[in-house]
Amino acid sequence: MKAAAALRAASRPVLRTETPILEFLLPCFSQTPFSVRNASITTSSSPPSTEPSPSSLNSRTSAKRHGALSAEQQQFLDSALRVNQAGELAATLIYTSQTPPLLRTHPHLRTLMSHMHAQEAGHFSTFNRLLAHHRIRPTAMYPIWSLASSFLGWSTGLMGREAAMACTEAVETEIGQHYNGQVRVLLGWVKEMEERGEEVGDEVRELVATLKRIRDEELEHLDEAVSEGAREARPYELLNRVVRGGCRGAIWVSERV
Ligand SMILES: [Fe+2]
Ligand SMILES: [Fe+2]
């Protein structure tokens, strides 16, 4: 299935422009909050989704034995889903901006870059749907993250294969840990509900499964980046620290704003 996805992704056109600086700016205009809203609106005509339904995570009126989420838990979910959407927006834009300069010098990376981009686009779409279902607003930092992630992708793409892969390794390390944290929290809720003898809705379990699947795909990207020479980047330590620090800062801000 992954091979099929890679083949489909490999056939996608890659954003190209004759003027390198435009490579950095163009993706920003293709992923605006407006485009997210449009994507959300169209979810009703999309194929049936396996994502949690709107009523499931927020419902407080289910049968007595059905576990309901507290206000604090709902606040956690709002914040978590908002950050996840912002993170996937950034990941999509990083790969979009990185690909043109990178492929000019390393055309053999086309299939890998297209595959990773296609998976990020799928993640982004998943969180767009979840935000629309639960009526959660995107982060107010959306335009800033769009510019910052496009610049990060474009600049590391220009620096070469090792720097681009070091960027991917750093981002995916932080994002993998981030999703792991969310999975742990949700599994804790499930355990508490089970101990109280409450029914855990399928939707909560589905959300856990979705987060685990996405986390695993992020960790695959991390492994691919290491295989493609991430640790040969110079200066590797500096790149790794700067990108990981930036990711942690962006997560912290997006949870609050
Ligand atoms: Fe992702
Ligand atoms: Fe990823």
Residue 38 lies in a domain: no
In a domain, 133, yes or no: yes
User: Ligand 1 mean position to 220 CA, how many Å?
Assistant: 10
In a domain, 184, yes or no: yes
- 227 part of a folded domain: yes
Domain annotation covers residue 65? no
**Cα 236 to ligand 2 centroid, rounded to whole Å:** 19
- Tell me how far the alpha carbon of residue 169 lies from the centroid of ligand 2, in angstroms: 9
Phi, psi dihedrals of residue 66, rounded to the nearest 5°: -85, 125
Residues whose Cβ atom is located within 5 A of ion ligand 1: 88, 91, 120, 123
User: What integer pLDDT is reported at residue 216 of this predicted model?
Assistant: 95
Query: How much is the pLDDT for 158?
Result: 92
Rounded Cα distance between 97 and 112, Å, is: 15
Pick the ligand that lies closest to the CA of residue 88.
1
CA 175 to ligand 2 centroid distance, Å: 8
pLDDT at 19: 43
Domain range for 152 is 2-10+70-256
d(CA 194, ligand 1 centre) in Å: 30
Separation of CA 67 and ligand 1 centre (Å): 30
Alpha helix stretches (DSSP H) within the chain? 2-10, 20-30, 33-41, 54-58, 71-105, 110-134, 142-159, 161-195, 202-227, 236-256
CA–CA dist 255, 90 (Å, integer): 15
Residue 37, domain member (yes or no): no
State the total domains in the chain.
Answer: 1
Report the pLDDT value the prediction gives residue 46, as an integer from 0 to 100. Answer: 38
194 inside domain: yes
How far does the centroid of ligand 2 lie from the alpha carbon of residue 220, in Å?
Answer: 8
Residue 211 in any domain: the answer is yes
Which pLDDT does position 199 carry in this prediction? 81
Each residue's pLDDT, cut to its tens digit, for the chain (257 residues) gives 443 343 333 334 333 444 444 454 455 545 544 343 333 322 233 333 444 544 445 544 444 455 677 888 888 989 999 999 999 999 999 999 999 999 999 999 999 999 999 999 999 999 999 999 888 899 999 999 999 999 999 999 999 999 999 999 999 999 999 999 999 999 998 888 888 888 888 888 899 999 999 999 999 999 999 999 999 999 999 999 999 999 999 999 988 88
